[in-house]
Amino acid sequence: MYAVVQVRGTVKTRHEIKETLKMLRLHHINHCVFVPETPEYLGMIRKVKDFVAYGEVDAETLETILRTRGRLTGNKPLTDEYLKDASTYGSVGELAEALANGEVKLRDIPELKPVLRMHPPRKGYKTIKRTFNQGGALGYYGKEINSLLYKMR
């Protein structure tokens, strides 16, 4: 499963890039979505690689993010009690493990918002004009996306 975080804004951007970000449900800076590793999503991510940071997320980071930033309809936090009542998962940790393995999608949990509004990273981005390999904050992170998400928790 990929975590995709919008890093740059879309002012003076080509229309097709704006539409692709809209299809990924990334409407604002520091919003995060989790998408499965399919060729369709990978093509969309590659199209907007100069505006987002993305990489493979692990279950531990996924659990931390869902506990701190997961929201239900009405801006209520995601809790273990809600998951016990509304799904077959007993805790956020079990849900994060199933999400990381690709067994379930976020839309399968009723009332769970698919977009996570993240805090800007502590200590800030290095630069939003260069790729991760060049020392910036854009593009493919690989497993290092977990450290970025932890700083944005």
**Do the beta carbons of residue 7 and residue 32 sit within 8 Å?**
no
The per-residue pLDDT string of the chain (153 residues; one tens digit each, 9 = 90 and over) reads 999 999 999 999 999 999 999 999 999 999 999 999 999 999 999 999 999 999 999 999 999 999 999 999 999 999 999 999 999 999 999 999 999 998 998 889 999 999 999 999 999 999 999 999 999 999 999 999 999 999 999
Domains along the chain with CATH numbers: 1-153 (3.30.1390.20)
Its pTM stands at 0.93
